[in-house]
């Protein structure tokens, strides 16, 4: 009977089996990507149940409710109904469950309220107001993040005020009274019988640490076996709670952690890699099992992952391997610009679909920042390829993008009621919903546009000033637009609408992401206005206006709803891709200051995390891995020339098949003995290094056949012909897809460098 119950052990390899069957004492499972981590985790709990351990004595902690639900389902499949009585769930959900029973010991009601982020910000805003502080300096979102970080590091308001480093940073940011806001916030929550998400951890720690009525021993005795998934993602507070539950005199210390230090990528959420690196030191008799066999990827992908991660200084040594067939080597695509990068990724996807019979759902495009999705969305739409944005909205459906575009639409067309309704009180300018409803009613009753109503009808004194300022603002946008191109107009709107200032003042990670998206939109409009590579045809138009730009994106913003599509190419950030896998993966934007991020260049620890992020990205691929970068990219309205990412140079050349650049014909580089990609730089042509500061466009009458000219984007070229319409044919030796280009001189920006 027991032999039948344990039949699932035959499905495991030798190391997996040891990890599953070693139940007593501290255990650390280092699970490389694609190594069967979830199976080990669930089979281990199933083995506990089949070995007679009471399910109520098992605490299994995860980071998502979805993971906990899936875990229970799998355990039930192997071990039966006992899975339902295992304490399996997220840190927050299980600790909330305990606090519902024990909160009265801490001075909270057991039916305490749980504040979400909006509730927390509202309380902080009220405190800032009662303290008569400048809300533009003490931004509620920033204060909330500061308090959250303090709680996650076990810093009380009293300890905060005594910490000179924290106080000095607050003084530097002109917010020396955050500690008082923190103190008042804690008192307010206690008075209201409420806890925020951070409190669910902090109050659990206090419960165990203060140990009223021996409650700590109660839960130490109950949770005789503790398992933690994704341990590399735990923060300082979570680990301290775990140690109080498992590390005490006489404890069997039956704790099993499962994770991978090489996939620790969430420091911005408070996670610390030190927890997993220190575990062997804290639990000296730990048994460590390294799951190094990768069942997901081909050998070239696995070897590339090993190549990259070995450059990190702090790590638990391991070497992942696979016995899967070799498959194709890694492909690298070099593009001259981000637009071309998007086009070439789409080209390659079409080729893979046709040549290897891949479905859309087999393919993923990964990027470092969400703002990068725009260029790939546009390229995929042109090819009519179905896609979905994972964990977020399509670029043109994001709120901040729709808000800015609504201002643009209203600038072009004052009768656009939908655009007007969207922005008339955003950012807030004191025009309430009842006023807007009244405007709509008047417009409907009199067959007028809402703009006609607000620009012609007198309102009560309270609304008159705000509406008048809004009307004046839109008229300024319209006047500016009449004599400026789409980019200059968009930049003017972004600066003066108040949206950019709103996000800058908020200062949170979410606000920073929204600013990145707005910047990406502006960069796209800049490219639209400066795209002088205009192919001449019967419909030739050099219209650079805001109206023309809005027309160019109309198919993207008005696309059919794709929610029902199941066979879709996945677009996502690398952070969102963790835990997923695809037959074909494109890791894009591999340039210095982008991946690795410019924000990570200040310390070796941050570079190491960026490298771990790249490690996660490439190990999502099963068979086809394509790495791409662009020599030039619009950033903050300027064309910037970029060096390829250092991570590309860390991949051994023996794992790379071809570097696609210059032309669409791919030739294998003449790599010698395997070494770091010092050869990589030699195998591709360097980008045109044009000094933008000293670049001076020549007048049109000086550009003639036979002259050498310089172009910011394409580098040096030779004028082959100039026709009667002032359209020049120019040969650019460093151009990628077409060396010979036809360019409208009126918008060309060419500098003559030789007669």
What is the set of active-site residues?
Answer: 37-38, 229-230, 263, 620
Contacts 24+ apart (CB under 8 A), 722-729: 725/536, 726/700, 727/536, 728/703
- 291/439 Cα distance (integer angstroms): 65
- 157/183 Cα distance (integer angstroms): 5
Please answer whether residues 93 and 214 qualify as being in contact, where contact means their C-beta atoms are separated by less than 8 angstroms: no
| Strand order across the 225-228 sheet | 87-90, 58-62, 225-228, 255-259, 27-31, 287-291
C-alpha triplet 557, 559, 565: angle, nearest 5°: 130
Q: Classify the C-alpha dihedral 615-617-621-625 as positive or negative.
A: negative
Distances (CA, A) of 57 to 83, 89, 205, 225: 12, 14, 20, 6
Per DSSP (E only), the strands in 1-157 are 27-31, 58-62, 87-90, 113-115
The two three-digit tokens of residue 394, written as one number: 């399509």
- 331/628 Cα distance (integer angstroms): 8
- 300/307 Cα distance (integer angstroms): 10
The residue count for the chain: 755
Please answer whether residues 742 and 727 qualify as being in contact, where contact means their C-beta atoms are separated by less than 8 angstroms: yes
- Residue 731 neighbours by CB distance under 10 Å: 15
Separate counts of helices (H) and strands (E) for the chain: 31, 21
Query: Roughly what angle, to the nearest 10 degrees, separates helices 373-382 and 509-530?
Result: 50
- Facing residues of 627 across strands? 332, 587
- 441/460 Cα distance (integer angstroms): 16
Where do we find the tokens 């509406």?
467
Please answer whether residues 195 and 119 qualify as being in contact, where contact means their C-beta atoms are separated by less than 8 angstroms: no
DSSP for residue 573? E
Peptide bond preceding 596 in cis form (omega within 30 of 0)? yes
Q: Is 20 strand, coil or helix?
A: helix
Distances (CA, A) of 442 to 449, 454, 461, 579: 9, 10, 18, 54
Q: Which of 279, 272, 270 is nearest to 246 (CA)?
A: 279
- 42/20 Cα distance (integer angstroms): 9
């Amino acid at each position: 009977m027991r032999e039948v119950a344990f039949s699932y052990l035959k499905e495991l390899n030798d190391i997996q089996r040891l990890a599953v069957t070693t139940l007593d004492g501290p255990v650390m499972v280092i699970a490389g990507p694609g190594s069967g981590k979830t199976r080990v985790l669930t089979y281990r709990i199933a083995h506990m149940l089949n070995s007679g351990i009471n399910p109520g004595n098992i605490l299994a902690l995860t980071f998502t409710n979805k993971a906990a639900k899936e875990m229970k389902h799998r355990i039930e499949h192997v071990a039966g109904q006992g899975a339902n009585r295992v304490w399996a769930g997220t840190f927050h959900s299980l600790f909330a469950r305990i606090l519902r029973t024990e909160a009265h010991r801490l001075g909270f009601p057991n039916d305490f309220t749980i504040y979400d982020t909006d509730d927390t910000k509202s309380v902080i805003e009220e405190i800032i107001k009662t303290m008569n502080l400048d809300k533009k300096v003490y931004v509620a979102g920033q204060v909330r993040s500061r308090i959250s970080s303090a709680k996650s590091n076990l810093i009380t308001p009293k300890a905060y005020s005594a910490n000179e480093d924290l106080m000095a940073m607050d003084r530097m940011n002109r917010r020396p009274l955050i500690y008082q806001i923190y103190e008042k916030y804690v008192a307010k929550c206690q008075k209201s019988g409420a806890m925020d998400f951070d409190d669910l951890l902090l109050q659990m720690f206090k419960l165990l640490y203060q140990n009223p009525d021996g409650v700590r021993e109660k839960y130490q005795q109950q949770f005789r076996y503790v398992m933690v998934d994704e341990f590399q993602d735990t923060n300082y507070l979570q680990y301290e709670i775990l140690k109080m539950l498992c590390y005490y005199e006489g404890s069997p210390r039956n704790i099993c952690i499962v994770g991978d230090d090489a996939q620790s990528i969430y420091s911005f959420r408070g996670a610390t890699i030190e927890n997993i690196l220190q575990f062997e030191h804290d639990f000296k008799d730990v048994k460590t099992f390294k799951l190094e066999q990768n069942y997901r990827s081909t050998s070239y992908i696995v070897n590339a992952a090993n190549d990259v991660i070995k450059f990190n200084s702090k790590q638990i040594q391991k070497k992942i391997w696979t016995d899967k067939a070799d498959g194709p080597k890694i492909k690298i695509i070099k593009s001259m610009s981000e637009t071309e990068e998007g086009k070439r990724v789409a080209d390659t996807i079409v080729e893979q679909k046709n040549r290897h019979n891949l479905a859309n759902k087999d393919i993923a495009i990964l990027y470092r920042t969400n703002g990068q999705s725009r260029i790939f969305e546009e390229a995929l739409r042109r090819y009519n390829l179905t896609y979905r944005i994972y964990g977020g909205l399509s670029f043109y459906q994001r709120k901040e993008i729709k808000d800015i575009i609504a201002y643009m639409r209203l600038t072009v067309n004052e009768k656009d009621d939908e655009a007007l309704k969207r922005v008339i009180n955003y950012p807030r300018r004191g025009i309430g919903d009842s006023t807007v409803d009244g405007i709509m009613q008047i417009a409907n009753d009199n067959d007028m546009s809402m703009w006609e109503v607000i620009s012609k009808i007198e309102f009560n004194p309270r609304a008159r000033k705000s509406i008048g300022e809004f009307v004046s603002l839109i008229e300024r946008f319209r006047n500016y637009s009449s004599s400026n191109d789409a980019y200059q107009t968009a930049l003017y709107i972004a600066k003066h609408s108040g949206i950019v200032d709103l996000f800058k003042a908020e200062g949170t990670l979410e606000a920073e992401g929204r600013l990145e998206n707005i910047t990406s939109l502006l960069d796209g409009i800049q490219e639209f206005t400066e795209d002088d590579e205009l192919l001449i045809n019967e419909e030739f138009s050099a219209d650079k206006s805001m109206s023309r730009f809005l027309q160019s994106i109309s198919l993207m913003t008005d696309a059919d709803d794709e929610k029902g599509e199941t066979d879709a190419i996945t677009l996502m950030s690398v952070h969102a891709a963790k835990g997923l896998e695809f037959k074909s993966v494109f890791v894009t934007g591999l340039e210095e200051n982008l991946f690795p991020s410019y924000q990570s260049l200040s310390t070796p620890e941050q570079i190491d995390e960026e490298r771990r992020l790249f490690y996660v990205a490439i190990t999502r691929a099963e068979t086809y891995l394509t790495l791409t970068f662009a020599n030039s990219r619009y950033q903050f309205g300027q064309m910037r020339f970029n060096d390829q990412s250092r991570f590309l140079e860390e991949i051994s050349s023996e794992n790379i098949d071809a570097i696609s650049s210059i032309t669409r014909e791919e030739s294998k580089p003449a790599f010698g003995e395997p070494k770091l990609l010092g050869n990589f730089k030699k195998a591709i042509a360097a980008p045109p290094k044009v000094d933008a500061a000293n670049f001076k466009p020549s007048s049109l009458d000086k550009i003639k056949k036979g002259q050498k000219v310089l172009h910011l984007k394409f580098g040096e070229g030779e004028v082959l012909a100039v026709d009667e319409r002032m359209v020049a044919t120019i040969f650019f030796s460093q151009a990628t897809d077409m060396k010979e280009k036809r360019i409208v001189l009126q918008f060309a920006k060419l500098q003559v460098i030789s007669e």
